[in-house]
């Protein structure tokens, strides 16, 4: 199934719709939601609904099945009804929701390609009305998407292909505006997620993405994994890889988890 949906298709399909607008460092996405959203959408808070509190697991640890299930039921998610997630434009935050719903077993999740920006560009309406959302019955069962531990990520960097989804200067360790230690996992290949999308937000075509990842080393039966700073943009990378029909595992804790153990090696340059 295509993990993306166009604005025009979304306008004609009955789905559970989650608004996942979010920016690292703020402002809170809920403010933008109240200023206007796609009719029927409910706000999904990335920091609280799609992650456990920051700690030893990193800045955006995997939520427990019980916590994620409770959040999704509160937002009206049921396994029997398709879910569409969206953010402002580039699908970074929406991909986190897509990946978690898939990981916890939802069978039909798609991302609005180009986000709210694509919706409004198509001339479709927005609203400030908050929908009356009945509770859902989604049951969270972990394991629906492949993951990597720190040790597995380190091994994959030498035996397969481990993609670092961050900006090049963070990968090289020239700057680190968020985490206390700069650098990357030794052997990882830099693949910034900004290159997965066209200007304005929509994803590049499947052929474009397939060629991009093939060039980076995702060829034949080479196992692929990805990480970022805290597991959010890496989910975007998994989504781009799925569009290209390349399976990939996610190191959920990512760099913010890697650096919690000072014995783990760090590469620069």
pLDDT at 242: 98
| Residue 44 appears among annotated catalytic residues | no
b/e code 122-161 from CB counts within 10 Å (16+ = b):
eeeeeeeeeeeeeebebebeeeebebbebebbbbbbeebb
Per-position DSSP letters for 124-191, written without gaps between them: ---B-PPP-PPP------S-SS-B--HHHHHHHHHHSEEEE-S-HHHHTTS--SSSSS--B-TT-EE-
Cα Rg of the chain (Å, integer): 18
Looking only at the bridges linking them, the beta strands covering 109-112 and 42-43 are unpaired
Q: Domain 4-121: which CATH class?
A: alpha beta
- What's the predicted TM-score (pTM) here? 0.97
Q: Tokens 């290949």 identify what position?
A: 189
pLDDT at 104: 98
What is the number of other CB atoms lying within 10 angstroms of the CB of residue 35? 9
Q: What torsion do the CA atoms of 99, 102, 106, 109 make, to the nearest 10 degrees?
A: 60
- Residue 193 CA to residue 164 CA, distance in Å, equals 9
State both tokens at 20.
């996942």
Catalytic residue among 228, 238, 244, 259: 228
**Domains of the chain by residue range:** 4-121, 150-258
Q: What is the pLDDT along the chain (269 residues), one digit of tens a residue?
A: 899 999 999 999 999 999 999 998 888 899 999 999 999 999 999 999 999 999 999 999 999 999 999 999 999 999 999 999 999 999 999 999 999 999 999 999 999 999 999 999 999 999 999 999 999 999 999 999 999 999 999 999 999 999 999 999 999 999 999 999 999 999 999 999 999 999 989 999 999 999 999 999 999 999 999 999 999 999 999 999 999 999 999 999 999 999 999 999 999 99
What pLDDT was estimated at residue 147? 98
- Helix (H) or strand (E) holding 49, with range, is helix 46-49
Q: Which sign does the torsion angle of CA 192, 19, 143, 179 carry?
A: positive
Nearest CA-CA partner of 39 in 136, 135, 125:
125
The answer to whether domain 4-121 and domain 150-258 are alike in fold is yes
CATH of 150-258 among 3.30.110.30, 3.40.50.720, 3.40.50.2000, 3.40.250.10: 3.40.250.10
Distance CA 85, CA 92 (A): 11
pLDDT at res. 185: 98
Counts for the chain of helices (H) and strands (E), in that order:
11, 9
- Terminal CA-CA length for the chain: 39
Which pLDDT belongs to residue 27? 85
């Amino acid at each position: 199934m295509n993990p993306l949906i166009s604005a025009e298709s979304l306008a004609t399909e009955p789905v559970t719709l989650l608004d996942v607008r979010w920016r690292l460092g703020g402002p809170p996405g809920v403010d933008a939601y109240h200023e206007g959203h796609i009719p029927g959408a409910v706000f999904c808070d990335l920091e609280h609904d799609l992650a456990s509190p920051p700690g030893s697991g990193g800045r955006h640890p995997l939520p427990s099945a019980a916590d994620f299930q409770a959040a999704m039921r509160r937002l009206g998610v049921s396994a029997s009804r398709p879910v569409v997630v969206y953010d402002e434009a580039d699908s970074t935050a929406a991909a986190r929701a897509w990946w978690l719903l898939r990981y916890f077993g939802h069978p039909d999740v798609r991302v609005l390609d180009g986000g709210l920006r694509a919706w409004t560009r198509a001339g479709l309406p927005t609203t400030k009305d908050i929908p009356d959302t009945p509770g859902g019955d989604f049951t969270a069962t972990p394991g629906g998407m492949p993951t990597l531990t720190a040790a597995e990520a380190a091994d994959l960097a030498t035996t397969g292909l481990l993609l670092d989804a961050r900006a090049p200067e963070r990968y090289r360790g020239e700057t680190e505006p968020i985490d206390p230690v700069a650098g990357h996992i030794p052997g990882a290949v830099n693949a910034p997620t900004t290159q997965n999308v066209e200007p304005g937000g929509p994803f590049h075509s499947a052929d474009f993405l397939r060629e991009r990842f093939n060039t980076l080393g995702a060829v034949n039966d080479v196992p692929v994994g990805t990480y970022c700073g805290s597991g959010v943009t890496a989910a975007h990378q998994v989504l781009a890889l799925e569009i290209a029909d390349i399976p990939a595992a996610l190191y959920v804790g990512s760099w913010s988890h890697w650096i919690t153990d000072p014995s783990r090696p760090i590469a620069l340059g």
